[in-house]
């Protein structure tokens, strides 16, 4: 079966973005240039552009052109390394900004996810993760205070390392992945100029002994997650 031309153009543009040849905030080639390059009509080029908009690669502004929203950062959900270590191994510069570390009382949702009593104390850790200088993730993590009574702000750069220091070993994670449109809060935290597609991951993580230790929400922007393995190991987002 012959591949439609708009699909070829879409793949060509994705390669320019994913490779970093065209970076966040830069313009894609104009419709006229792509028409000449692929010898197609403007309607065909627009079909490719429209698909990129739907997938969150670009935004289109009248009188300006098609602007790249963010370069994609790819990860494998089956990898058991920490987020920080995985990104560094891939050559990315990673920074964590701690928004807040506080103790809150478990509500009905948190108590059910962490197998706690209603009102029991839990750590609430809010962070923004940066890759290559751009914010890519906002994370809200809940962990039982009774399991981690000595957690400090300095431990929050990588909670995975802190867990190792405490002698815990991670076994499995249960995840729900969904696509969202950014709220005003997320737009501010992730420095977005307009409403944009967001990948939301709700996660419950379990230790080797079967004890639930973490319930989290992660909101990814400009991020591509590869789901190519059964989640029988915990890939640490924290």
> Are 198 and 97 members of one domain?
yes
The total of structural domains in the chain comes to 2
Task: Provide the token pair at 32.
Answer: 């006229």
The DSSP bridge partners found for residue 125 are: 101, 141
pLDDT of residue 226: 46
Residues 183 and 140 in one domain: yes
Question: Do residue 64 and residue 156 come from a single domain?
Answer: no
Strand 73-76 with 223-226, pairing: parallel
The residues near 148 (Cβ < 8 Å, ≥ 6 apart) are 123, 162, 166
Q: Compute the distance between CA of residue 9 and CA of residue 202 in angstroms, rounded to an integer.
A: 34
Q: Give yes or no for a contact between 40 and 189, defined as CB atoms under 8 angstroms apart.
A: no
pLDDT means per 10 residues, the chain with 238 residues, are 88 88 86 94 91 76 74 47 61 85 96 95 95 86 96 91 87 83 90 84 86 92 51 47
In a domain, 96, yes or no: yes
- My answer on whether 95 and 184 are in the same domain is yes
> Is 110 in the same domain as 12?
no
Can you list the alpha helix ranges (DSSP code H) found in 55-97? 83-89
SS3 letters across 182-223: CCHHHHHHCCCCCCCEEEEEEEEEEECCCCEEEEEEEEECCE
d(CA 94, CA 108): 34
**Is residue 234 in some structural domain?**
no
Domain co-membership, 179 together with 211? yes
Q: How is residue 102 written in tokens? A: 């506080």
Q: What's the pLDDT at 76?
A: 44
Say if residue 86 is in the same domain as residue 176.
yes
């Amino acid at each position: 079966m012959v591949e439609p031309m708009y699909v070829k153009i879409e793949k060509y543009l994705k390669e320019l973005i994913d490779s970093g040849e065209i970076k966040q905030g830069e313009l894609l080639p104009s419709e006229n240039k792509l028409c000449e390059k692929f010898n197609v009509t403007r309607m065909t080029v627009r079909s490719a552009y429209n698909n990129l908009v739907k997938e969150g690669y670009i935004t289109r502004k009248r009188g300006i052109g098609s602007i790249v929203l963010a370069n994609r950062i790819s990860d494998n959900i089956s990898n058991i390394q920490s987020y920080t270590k995985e990104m560094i191994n891939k050559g990315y510069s990673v920074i964590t900004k701690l928004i807040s570390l506080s103790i809150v009382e478990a509500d009905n949702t948190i108590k059910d996810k962490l197998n706690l009593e209603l009102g029991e104390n839990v750590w609430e850790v809010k962070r923004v993760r940066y890759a290559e200088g751009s914010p890519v993730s906002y994370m809200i993590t809940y962990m039982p205070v009774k399991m981690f009574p000595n957690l400090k702000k300095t431990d929050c750069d990588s909670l995975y390392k802190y867990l190792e220091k405490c002698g815990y070993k991670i076994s499995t994670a249960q995840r729900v992945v969904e696509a969202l449109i950014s709220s005003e809060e997320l737009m501010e935290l992730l420095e977005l100029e307009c409403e944009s597609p967001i990948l939301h991951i709700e996660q419950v993580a379990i230790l080797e002994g079967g004890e639930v230790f973490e319930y989290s929400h992660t909101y990814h922007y400009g991020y591509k997650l590869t789901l190519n393995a059964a989640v029988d190991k915990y890939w640490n987002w924290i």
